Amino acid sequence: MKILVALKQVPDTETKVKVAADGKSLDPADVKWITSTYDEYALEEALRLKESKGAEVTVVSLGGDSVKDVLRNALALGADAAVLLKSDASDPLAVATALAAYAKDKGFDLIFAGNKGMGGDNASVGPMLAELLGIAQANVVVKFEVTDAGFRAEREIEGGTEVVEGALPAVITAQKGLNEPRYASLKGIMAAKKKTIEEVEATAPAGATAVIALVLPAARPEGRKLDGDAAAQAAALLNALKDEAKVF
Partner 1 sequence: MFPAFTEDQLAIRDAARDFAVNEIEPGAMARDHAAEFPSDIIRQLGEMGFMGMTVPEAYGGAGVDYLSYILALEEIAKVDASVAVTMSVNNSVACAPILVFGTEAQKQKYLKPLASGEVLGGFMLTEPDAGSDAAALKCRATKVEGGWQLNGAKAWITNGGVGRYFVTMAVTHPELGKKGISAFVLDAERPGVHMAKPEEKMGLRSSKTVMVTLEDAFVADDDLLGGPGDGLKVALHGLDGGRIGIAAQAVGIAQRALNESIAYARTRHSFGKPIGEHQAIQTYLAEMEARVQASRLLVYKAAIMRNEGQPCTLEAATAKLFATESAVWVCDRAVQIFGGYGYSREYVVERLYRDVRVTTIYEGTSEIQRIVVARSLLK
31 binds partner 1 (CB under 8 A): no
Peptide bond into 205 cis (omega under 30): no
- Distance between CA atoms of residues 139 and 122, nearest Å: 13
Q: Spell out the alpha helix ranges (H) of the chain.
A: 37-53, 68-77, 92-103, 125-133, 186-194, 230-239
Residue 77 amino acid letter: L
Which is nearer to partner 1, 183 or 248 (by Cβ)? 183
* Segment near partner 1 (CB under 8 A); pick from 20-28, 44-52, 180-188, 233-241: 180-188
Of residues 62-101, those binding partner 1 (CB under 8 A): none
* Segment near partner 1 (CB under 8 A); pick from 36-44, 97-105, 108-116, 186-194: 186-194
Q: Spell out the alpha helix ranges (H) of 84-229.
A: 92-103, 125-133, 186-194
Tell me the closest approach of the beta carbon of residue 57 to partner 1, in angstroms: 19
Among 20, 157, 167, 190, binds partner 1 (CB under 8 A): 190
Q: Which residues of 89-111 are buried (b: 16+ CB within 10 A; e: fewer)?
A: bbbbbbbbbbbbbbbeeeebbbb
187 binds partner 1 (CB under 8 A): yes
Tell me the closest approach of the beta carbon of residue 115 to partner 1, in angstroms: 22
Characterize the bridge pairing of strands 136-146 and 151-157: antiparallel
Among 18, 104, 193, 242, binds partner 1 (CB under 8 A): 193
189 binds partner 1 (CB under 8 A): yes
Q: Closest Cα to residue 198, out of 91, 60, 73?
A: 60
Which is nearer to partner 1, 172 or 197 (by Cβ)? 197
Tell me the closest approach of the beta carbon of residue 186 to partner 1, in angstroms: 4
Three-state secondary structure call for residue 201: strand
Which is nearer to partner 1, 186 or 213 (by Cβ)? 186
Which is nearer to partner 1, 12 or 30 (by Cβ)? 12
Q: How many residues bind partner 1 (CB under 8 A)?
A: 8
Tell me the closest approach of the beta carbon of residue 187 to partner 1, in angstroms: 6
186 binds partner 1 (CB under 8 A): yes
Characterize the bridge pairing of strands 160-166 and 151-157: antiparallel
Which is nearer to partner 1, 190 or 211 (by Cβ)? 190
CA atoms within 13 A on the CB side of 127: 8
Residues in contact with partner 1 by CB under 8 A are 183-187, 189-190, 193
